[in-house]
Amino acid sequence: MDKFMAAAIDQARQGLATGGIPIGSVLVRNGEIIGQGHNQRVQGGSPIIHAEIDCLQNAGRIGHYRDTVLYSTLMPCYLCAGAVVQFGIKKVIAGESATFPGAREFMEAHGVEVIDLDLAECKQLMGDFITANPALWSEDIGEL
């Protein structure tokens, strides 16, 4: 497995270990991780601290994003896809989209290359979480 997706999975596991939703993300530039984060909606009591948003926040002000790649264990939602498009990130690599289809078409329509790795490990992580926490998952995706 790609070391960057492995780092995103590590972030997802960290989020799960601290009582949150197991979604992780890393931002890569020139072969180096410059930001990483995980979903902290539960931990932070916030509706917007998604993994990708936490990752971008932790990367800080980097000037431009056009030469970065965003990795996420789950296909980004519209909130996170909006940040991808807004900041000009040109490539997103998702661990999976089977448990949540996200906003792939939106990103692609705005010139973002989207790759879905369809990883069993990411699907298992989300599937186990959703089975154990259906109400929390429904809240996270706005379907409560």
64 has a pLDDT exceeding 80: yes
pLDDT band at 139 (very low <50, low <70, confident <90, very high): confident
Q: Which of 49, 42, 34 is nearest to 79 (CA)?
A: 49
Average pLDDT, stretch 24-35?
Answer: 98
75 has a pLDDT exceeding 80: yes
pLDDT at 140: 84
List 52, 105, 108, 113, catalytic entry: 52
pLDDT band at 42 (very low <50, low <70, confident <90, very high): very high
**Known catalytic membership, residue 52:** yes
pLDDT at 142: 83
20 has a pLDDT exceeding 80: yes
Average pLDDT, stretch 82-87?
Answer: 98
Query: Could you tell me the pTM of the whole model?
Result: 0.96
The Cα-based distances of 7 to 47, 77, 81 in angstroms read 24, 20, 20
pLDDT at 32: 97
pLDDT band at 124 (very low <50, low <70, confident <90, very high): very high
28, β-bridge pairs = 33, 69
1 has a pLDDT exceeding 80: no
Average pLDDT, stretch 8-16?
Answer: 98
For residue 60, give the 3-state DSSP assignment.
coil
